[in-house]
Structure 1
Amino acid sequence: MDGHCWTGGSTCPNTPGWPISAAVARPGVPEQAAFATKPALAAEMTADALDTGLTVRGVSGDEVYGHDPRLRALLEHRRIGYVPAIAGNRRVNLERIDRSAAASAAGVADRHW
């Protein structure tokens, strides 16, 4: 199902700006289906999987997922380690020093990567 995903018993269009009316007109998409962002879907799918008792040591993702505070909050609440990418211009606070993520990363010696 190109352009769709399955989560929590609902098929959801995965294309911003795509009219929901067009989505539900397609066979197999329930009328109650609503648009959700990739991070929102990831949070729902992660919570559902963890609720089944699945053991997870850690999660990683690109900056789309790293930018979502709800997904990070879910992982922290469930005590799941995570390593999401974040945009280089995102501000981070390390040891009470506020600067861009790119500047912080540039200060890390190559041997630590």
Structure 2
Amino acid sequence: QNWAKFQEKHIPNTSNINCNTIMDKSIYIVGGQCKERNTFIISSATTVKAICSGASTNRNVLSTTRFQLNTCIRSATAPRPCPYNSRTETNVICVKCENRLPVHFAGIGRC
């Protein structure tokens, strides 16, 4: 995965996330199945990108900034469109950095 895909999957251009709508997009369908969960970072791409600015190697980095997060969690195994529940929180995030760019969302609260 690269920075462009990371942005597409995790940095929406809205803070109003409707999990049942957004998770029906093709990028969240894996092997014909709805993705189990996805976390959206309610922030600018510039702020998220800054997490990796000091990463000298390709590794996981824990943000020093707390982000508003919205995690969509599949609530049942069903045909598309799959049902999702939404969980919101504010926390630090862990991202995998490659070439000083976030490329993978690795976790919430710790690496």
TM over 0.5: no
Which has more strand, going by share of residues? 2
Structure showing greater relative contact order (alpha-carbon pairs closer than 8 Å, 6 or more residues apart): 2
Bigger-Rg structure (1/2): 1
Scaled by the length of structure 2, what TM-score is found? 0.31
Which has more helix, going by share of residues? 1
